[in-house]
Amino acid sequence: MDANTVIAAVSIFTAGITIAIGSVGPALGEGRALAQALSAIAQQPDEASTITRTLFVGLAMVESTAIYCFVISMILIFANPFWNHFLQATSR
| pLDDT of res. 10 | 87
Confidence of residue 54 (pLDDT cuts 50, 70, 90): very high
The C-alpha atoms of residue 43 and residue 17 are separated, in whole angstroms, by: 40
> Residue 92: pLDDT above 70?
no
The C-alpha atoms of residue 19 and residue 90 are separated, in whole angstroms, by: 30
For 57-83, what is each residue's pLDDT tens digit? Answer: 999 999 999 999 999 999 888 887 777
- At 45, give phi and psi (nearest 5°): -65, -25
Domain 3-84 CATH superfamily: F1F0 ATP synthase subunit C (1.20.20.10)
The C-alpha atoms of residue 28 and residue 31 are separated, in whole angstroms, by: 5
Q: In this structure, are residues 41 and 51 in contact, taking their beta carbons and an 8 Å threshold?
A: yes
The pTM of this model reads 0.72
Which residue ranges make up each domain of the chain? 3-84
Q: Count CB-CB contacts under 10 A for residue 85.
A: 12
For 5-31, what is each residue's pLDDT tens digit? Answer: 888 888 889 999 999 999 999 999 999
